[in-house]
Homo-oligomer: A and B are copies of this chain.
Amino acid sequence: MPIETLDETARLILNAAAKRFLHYGYGKTTMSEIAGDCNMSTGNLYRYFPSKLDIAETFVRTLRREQIELLKQAIDGPGLSPAEKLSRLLQTKFRLAYERFHDRPKAYELATEVLVARPEVAVEWEEAEEAVIADIISEGERAGAFAKDEARRAPKLIQDAVFRFTTPAVFHEGDFEALAGELDALIGFMLDALTCRAAKAKLEHA
Protein backbone atom coordinates (compact mmCIF):
# COMPACT_ATOMS: atom_id res chain seq x y z
CA MET A 1 0.00 0.00 0.00
CA PRO A 2 2.00 2.97 -1.31
CA ILE A 3 1.16 6.32 0.28
CA GLU A 4 -0.38 7.76 -2.89
CA THR A 5 -3.22 5.24 -2.75
CA LEU A 6 -4.11 6.26 0.81
CA ASP A 7 -7.09 8.34 1.84
CA GLU A 8 -6.34 11.99 2.54
CA THR A 9 -7.21 11.56 6.22
CA ALA A 10 -5.01 8.46 6.41
CA ARG A 11 -2.08 10.47 5.06
CA LEU A 12 -2.75 13.18 7.64
CA ILE A 13 -2.59 10.54 10.39
CA LEU A 14 0.53 8.97 8.91
CA ASN A 15 2.37 12.29 8.76
CA ALA A 16 1.45 13.23 12.31
CA ALA A 17 2.49 9.79 13.58
CA ALA A 18 5.75 9.83 11.61
CA LYS A 19 6.76 13.17 13.13
CA ARG A 20 6.17 11.90 16.65
CA PHE A 21 7.80 8.51 15.97
CA LEU A 22 10.95 10.26 14.75
CA HIS A 23 11.01 12.77 17.60
CA TYR A 24 10.02 10.67 20.58
CA GLY A 25 10.13 7.05 19.39
CA TYR A 26 7.37 4.49 18.87
CA GLY A 27 6.83 3.63 22.54
CA LYS A 28 6.72 7.24 23.70
CA THR A 29 4.10 8.21 21.13
CA THR A 30 0.46 7.69 22.15
CA MET A 31 -2.59 7.31 20.00
CA SER A 32 -4.13 10.26 21.87
CA GLU A 33 -1.24 12.47 20.83
CA ILE A 34 -1.53 11.43 17.19
CA ALA A 35 -5.28 12.01 17.32
CA GLY A 36 -4.73 15.40 18.99
CA ASP A 37 -2.26 16.45 16.28
CA CYS A 38 -4.92 15.64 13.68
CA ASN A 39 -7.73 17.31 15.65
CA MET A 40 -9.68 14.11 15.91
CA SER A 41 -10.50 11.44 18.50
CA THR A 42 -8.58 8.23 19.07
CA GLY A 43 -11.52 6.14 17.93
CA ASN A 44 -11.41 7.72 14.50
CA LEU A 45 -7.79 6.64 13.95
CA TYR A 46 -9.07 3.07 13.85
CA ARG A 47 -11.27 3.85 10.89
CA TYR A 48 -8.05 4.32 8.87
CA PHE A 49 -5.53 1.95 10.48
CA PRO A 50 -6.23 -1.37 12.23
CA SER A 51 -3.67 -0.63 14.96
CA LYS A 52 -0.81 1.60 16.05
CA LEU A 53 1.67 -0.98 14.76
CA ASP A 54 0.10 -0.78 11.32
CA ILE A 55 0.69 2.97 11.22
CA ALA A 56 4.35 2.32 12.04
CA GLU A 57 4.55 -0.49 9.49
CA THR A 58 3.17 1.75 6.75
CA PHE A 59 5.77 4.37 7.66
CA VAL A 60 8.61 1.84 7.65
CA ARG A 61 7.49 0.73 4.19
CA THR A 62 7.97 4.30 2.99
CA LEU A 63 11.45 4.31 4.56
CA ARG A 64 12.22 1.15 2.60
CA ARG A 65 10.99 2.68 -0.64
CA GLU A 66 13.25 5.67 -0.04
CA GLN A 67 16.25 3.44 0.70
CA ILE A 68 15.75 1.28 -2.40
CA GLU A 69 15.42 4.47 -4.42
CA LEU A 70 18.72 5.80 -3.04
CA LEU A 71 20.45 2.50 -3.79
CA LYS A 72 19.24 2.58 -7.37
CA GLN A 73 20.46 6.15 -7.75
CA ALA A 74 23.87 5.15 -6.40
CA ILE A 75 24.39 2.64 -9.22
CA ASP A 76 22.80 4.78 -11.90
CA GLY A 77 25.97 6.53 -13.02
CA PRO A 78 26.95 6.13 -16.71
CA GLY A 79 29.73 3.80 -17.68
CA LEU A 80 29.81 1.87 -14.43
CA SER A 81 30.88 -1.74 -14.75
CA PRO A 82 28.79 -4.38 -12.97
CA ALA A 83 31.61 -4.85 -10.46
CA GLU A 84 31.67 -1.12 -9.69
CA LYS A 85 27.90 -1.10 -9.39
CA LEU A 86 27.92 -3.95 -6.90
CA SER A 87 30.63 -2.29 -4.89
CA ARG A 88 28.82 1.04 -4.84
CA LEU A 89 25.52 -0.59 -3.94
CA LEU A 90 26.92 -2.38 -0.90
CA GLN A 91 28.98 0.59 0.25
CA THR A 92 25.90 2.82 -0.03
CA LYS A 93 23.81 0.31 1.88
CA PHE A 94 26.41 0.32 4.64
CA ARG A 95 26.65 4.10 4.68
CA LEU A 96 22.89 4.54 4.87
CA ALA A 97 22.64 2.08 7.78
CA TYR A 98 25.55 3.78 9.53
CA GLU A 99 24.08 7.25 9.07
CA ARG A 100 20.59 6.24 10.10
CA PHE A 101 22.01 4.63 13.22
CA HIS A 102 24.05 7.68 14.22
CA ASP A 103 22.03 10.62 12.87
CA ARG A 104 18.46 9.37 13.11
CA PRO A 105 18.51 6.94 16.04
CA LYS A 106 14.74 7.08 16.51
CA ALA A 107 14.22 6.06 12.89
CA TYR A 108 16.59 3.14 13.42
CA GLU A 109 14.78 2.15 16.59
CA LEU A 110 11.38 2.37 14.90
CA ALA A 111 12.53 0.19 12.00
CA THR A 112 13.96 -2.37 14.43
CA GLU A 113 10.75 -2.56 16.46
CA VAL A 114 8.53 -2.95 13.42
CA LEU A 115 10.88 -5.49 11.82
CA VAL A 116 10.86 -7.63 14.98
CA ALA A 117 7.07 -7.48 15.35
CA ARG A 118 6.44 -7.99 11.62
CA PRO A 119 9.20 -10.24 10.26
CA GLU A 120 7.52 -10.38 6.86
CA VAL A 121 8.36 -6.70 6.37
CA ALA A 122 12.04 -7.53 6.94
CA VAL A 123 11.82 -10.36 4.41
CA GLU A 124 10.21 -8.06 1.84
CA TRP A 125 12.93 -5.46 2.48
CA GLU A 126 15.67 -8.02 1.87
CA GLU A 127 13.93 -9.33 -1.23
CA ALA A 128 13.66 -5.82 -2.64
CA GLU A 129 17.42 -5.36 -2.21
CA GLU A 130 18.08 -8.84 -3.54
CA ALA A 131 16.26 -7.91 -6.74
CA VAL A 132 18.57 -4.93 -7.25
CA ILE A 133 21.64 -7.10 -6.68
CA ALA A 134 20.28 -9.78 -9.01
CA ASP A 135 19.90 -7.19 -11.77
CA ILE A 136 23.54 -6.18 -11.47
CA ILE A 137 24.74 -9.77 -11.55
CA SER A 138 22.59 -10.61 -14.55
CA GLU A 139 24.14 -7.65 -16.34
CA GLY A 140 27.58 -8.94 -15.39
CA GLU A 141 26.75 -12.37 -16.74
CA ARG A 142 25.54 -10.98 -20.04
CA ALA A 143 28.75 -8.95 -20.33
CA GLY A 144 30.75 -12.11 -19.60
CA ALA A 145 32.38 -10.54 -16.54
CA PHE A 146 30.63 -12.79 -14.06
CA ALA A 147 30.15 -16.55 -14.14
CA LYS A 148 26.90 -17.92 -15.54
CA ASP A 149 23.93 -18.92 -13.41
CA GLU A 150 25.06 -16.92 -10.40
CA ALA A 151 22.13 -14.52 -10.46
CA ARG A 152 19.99 -17.05 -8.63
CA ARG A 153 22.15 -17.84 -5.59
CA ALA A 154 24.78 -15.13 -5.46
CA PRO A 155 22.55 -12.23 -4.30
CA LYS A 156 21.55 -14.06 -1.13
CA LEU A 157 25.16 -15.08 -0.48
CA ILE A 158 26.36 -11.53 -0.93
CA GLN A 159 23.72 -10.29 1.50
CA ASP A 160 24.86 -12.94 3.98
CA ALA A 161 28.50 -11.92 3.60
CA VAL A 162 27.94 -8.22 4.24
CA PHE A 163 25.37 -8.85 6.99
CA ARG A 164 27.83 -7.81 9.68
CA PHE A 165 28.10 -4.33 8.20
CA THR A 166 24.39 -3.64 8.52
CA THR A 167 24.18 -4.77 12.12
CA PRO A 168 24.24 -2.18 14.93
CA ALA A 169 26.84 -4.15 16.92
CA VAL A 170 29.50 -3.12 14.39
CA PHE A 171 28.63 0.58 14.41
CA HIS A 172 30.25 1.05 17.80
CA GLU A 173 33.61 -0.52 17.03
CA GLY A 174 35.90 1.61 14.94
CA ASP A 175 35.06 4.64 12.86
CA PHE A 176 33.27 4.80 9.54
CA GLU A 177 36.40 4.86 7.37
CA ALA A 178 37.93 1.78 9.00
CA LEU A 179 34.70 -0.19 8.58
CA ALA A 180 34.22 1.00 5.00
CA GLY A 181 37.75 -0.15 4.20
CA GLU A 182 37.11 -3.57 5.70
CA LEU A 183 33.85 -3.84 3.75
CA ASP A 184 35.70 -2.85 0.59
CA ALA A 185 38.17 -5.71 1.03
CA LEU A 186 35.28 -8.12 1.60
CA ILE A 187 33.51 -6.92 -1.55
CA GLY A 188 36.79 -7.40 -3.45
CA PHE A 189 36.81 -10.99 -2.27
CA MET A 190 33.26 -11.63 -3.45
CA LEU A 191 33.92 -9.96 -6.80
CA ASP A 192 37.01 -12.12 -7.30
CA ALA A 193 34.89 -15.21 -6.81
CA LEU A 194 32.39 -14.00 -9.41
CA THR A 195 34.95 -12.89 -11.99
CA CYS A 196 37.36 -15.78 -11.46
CA ARG A 197 34.62 -18.34 -11.98
CA ALA A 198 33.89 -16.66 -15.29
CA ALA A 199 37.59 -16.66 -16.22
CA LYS A 200 37.92 -20.33 -15.34
CA ALA A 201 34.89 -21.20 -17.48
CA LYS A 202 36.40 -19.33 -20.43
CA LEU A 203 39.72 -21.17 -20.11
CA GLU A 204 37.96 -24.53 -20.11
CA HIS A 205 35.96 -23.48 -23.13
CA ALA A 206 39.07 -22.46 -25.04
Neighbouring B residues of A192 by C-beta, 8 Å? 192-193, 196-197
Instruction: List the number of copies, as a whole number.
Output: 2
Select A189's contact among B157, B163, B167, beta carbons within 8 Å.
Answer: B157
A interface, how many residues as a size bin? Answer: 20 to 34
SS class, residues of chain A in contact with chain B: helix
Neighbouring B residues of A163 by C-beta, 8 Å? 163-164, 167
Most interface-central of A156, A196, A200 (chain B CB within 10 A): A196
* A74 CB within 8 Å of chain B: no
* A161 CB within 8 Å of chain B: yes
Select A196's contact among B153, B182, B185, B193, beta carbons within 8 Å.
Answer: B193
Q: Which A residues form the contact surface with B (CB < 8 A)?
A: 153-154, 156-157, 160-161, 163-165, 167, 182, 185-186, 189-190, 192-193, 195-197, 199-200
